Structure 1
């Protein structure tokens, strides 16, 4: 019987699978958020919380609802995996996990503003943090249901591998036109 300090081959394989899928997710995130537009193509900065969301809510222009939904829901959904992975990687408090998610989101917005490759918006950081929080809560729920750390790792590996075709499709097949 292997000791609890020495990882088994299975544990190593599961960990590699989790990190590999996380790397593909991270690459897709970078592609989507930083490399989908030419540098200098767009520069706008909003530092007023909820201003963009309020603008979406009050606008009656045709097509705004679709753009608003894609922006709001997209910003939440795309950061759910980061909340899950950050929770699994850090095994620390909610504050450090949320600080990680917020830091990544803020860094992306700053880079978008500096290189003019997107709209830098505090609302995006807020929505990304909501997504990270949902991911963190989903990981905690999974951990509470399963309880045993090695089984949580196994579940993370299985879920990561199940999501692999989706991330590969997004990364390799979809051409982002923004």
Structure 2
């Protein structure tokens, strides 16, 4: 996929995320009977996380809406899943620099925000190993949905690279958290 395709997918994901974010915002407004504190750090983090997850689902699972709604028309089997670790990644090396970077960096970069946001919102994810297992499980769920709706190729490399991306985002949370704790204690 070229730069134009990447921008199209990103724009579509952002539009979808914005719609979901607006719906979530109004849901919170109704549930909290209009008593939302828009400057509350947790509320802002939750809104960003909801939008981020919506964008992730749009990029990985929904993709273009035509294939999402026609999944029952196309047959697929377990043989369509790539179970061999690093097979796709090594094949992309042979295809050239751009396909390799698109595959590796693309799969990692989309999960960096997960590493920064999830532990900030879910305290039980503040231990790195627990967080990493959770990130792998979330990536696995997205790959299963992708296979179920036949919107892409489910691949174990995607799970590994997504986990690496989430792990790369985790230090951002640690750094921000330590600064917030220091600021709040003053």
Normalised by the length of structure 1, the TM-score is 0.69
Per the TM alignment, residue 120 of structure 1 is displaced from its structure 2 partner at its CA by 0.3
C-alpha distance in 2 between matches for 1:19 and 1:35: 22
Per-residue deviation, 1:14: 1.5
Which of 121, 133, 137 is the equivalent residue of 1:89?
121
Once the two structures are superposed, the pairs formed by residues 1-178 of structure 1 within 5 Å of their partners are 13-37=40-64, 38-39=67-68, 40=71, 44-59=80-95, 64-91=96-123, 92-144=126-178, 146=179, 148=181, 151=184
The 1:24/1:53 distance shift into structure 2, 3 A limit, reads same
SS of aligned partner of 1:120:
coil
CA 1:55 to 1:21, structure 2 compared with 1: closer, same or farther past 3 Å? same
Larger relative contact order, structure 1 or 2 (CA cutoff 8 Å, min sep 6): 1
What root-mean-square deviation, in Å, do the aligned CA atoms of Structure 1 and Structure 2 show?
Answer: 2.6
**1:42 to 1:87, Cα distance in 2 relative to 1, 3 A:** farther
Q: CA offset at residue 87 of structure 1?
A: 1.5
Q: Which runs of 5+ in 1 are unaligned?
A: 1-8, 152-178
Runs of 4 or more, structure 1, over 6 Å off, are 9-12
Cα distance between partner residues in 2 of 1:71 and 1:103 = 20
The runs of 5 or more residues in structure 2 that have no matched partner are 1-35
8 Å contact 2:112–2:167 — kept in the other structure?
yes
Q: How many residues align?
A: 139
Instruction: Provide the residue aligned with 1:174 in structure 2.
Output: none
Shift of 1:11: 9.3
Question: Would the alpha carbon gap of residues 77 and 88 (structure 1) be closer, same or farther in structure 2, given more than 3 Å must change?
Answer: same
With structure 2 as the length reference, what TM-score do the two structures score? Answer: 0.66
Give the number of the structure whose residues are more often strand, by fraction.
1
Shift of 1:88: 0.9
